[in-house]
Amino acid sequence: MLLILQLLLLLTLTIRTDGYDWFRVADCITSSSDLKAVEFIDTYFFIKAPYVRFNSTVGKYVGLTEYGLKTAEYWNKFYLQKEIDELERVCKPNLQMDYSNILDKSVKPRVELMSEQSASAGHPAMLMCSAYGFYPKTIDVYWLKDGKKVTSDMVSIEEMADGDWYYQVHSHLEYTPTSGEKISCVVEHISSKEPLIYHWDGSLPESERNKIAIGTSGLALGIILSAAGFIYYKKKSSGRNLVPS
């Protein structure tokens, strides 16, 4: 993974009514958290065009325009060492902070697998697999049919930012229910060493699954209320004083 830490220093110099601007952009670039290979690039712009650039790999200022050539020659004589020192002074401390506090962190996604549409005459069924609240952004969501990856009849939406550093993504699958077929949604993310696999139980229609869930909940509630009533009755009975007639 390539990380660019960009430090933007903006200074606008108004020369006439329509204005000109001068600014510089400093980039700290690395491809690994050990920071063994860090590159510092400092580019100076005038009217949005770069005219001189320092590159730590090259080790000096390089002019990009006629004026930039003269500027680079002068700066290499008087300011070069200060620019070279920016690699250790600015880049490495900030890159290390970014890796330890942001890039090395990960949050496992919360996954939901649901039916969006039941199969009907002339229309396939539709499943949706959603992953919520994960970080970092990169994630892979795909489908399996009987253990084989699905390569058609699926639509994935790009990762969407929640606005709080976390992301969400949704994937849809059209399919025609077949007896004994096993459909699964697979989510791969850096927060988990193994792929997260969620199996869809299509043995019953959605309405029937809801009826069973409601019926089971009602039965459990009835048993709990009956047990509570029986315990209350036993306690009241044991506390009575019986007087012979």
Same domain, 33 and 83: yes
Given the structure tokens 């080790």, which residue do they identify? 59
CB of 130 within 8 A of CB of 139? Answer: no
- Kindly state whether residue 13 falls inside one of the protein's structural domains: yes
Cα–Cα nearest to 42, from 2, 89, 1: 89
- Kindly state whether residue 243 falls inside one of the protein's structural domains: no
- Kindly state whether residue 56 falls inside one of the protein's structural domains: yes
pLDDT digits (tens, 9 = 90+) for 118-135: 877 677 888 999 999 999
Distance of alpha carbon 119 from the chain centroid: 32
pLDDT of residue 214: 44
pLDDT digits (tens, 9 = 90+) for 65-78: 999 999 999 999 99
- Kindly state whether residue 225 falls inside one of the protein's structural domains: no
Same domain, 177 and 130: yes
Q: Which of 56, 80, 103 lies at the terminal end of a domain, its last residue? A: 103
- Kindly state whether residue 160 falls inside one of the protein's structural domains: yes
- Kindly state whether residue 176 falls inside one of the protein's structural domains: yes
Same domain, 41 and 60: yes
CB of 65 within 8 A of CB of 49? Answer: yes
Distance CA 50, CA 68 (A): 9
pLDDT of residue 3: 60
Distance CA 170, CA 33 (A): 31
Q: Which of 47, 76, 103 lies at the terminal end of a domain, its last residue? A: 103
Same domain, 10 and 98: yes
Segments in the chain below pLDDT 50: 8-14, 17, 208-217, 219, 241-245
The parent domain of residue 114 ranges over: 110-200
Q: Which of 71, 86, 103 lies at the terminal end of a domain, its last residue? A: 103
Domain count, the chain: 2
pTM over the 0.75 mark: no
pLDDT of residue 69: 97
Same domain, 95 and 122: no
- Kindly state whether residue 215 falls inside one of the protein's structural domains: no
pLDDT of residue 1: 54
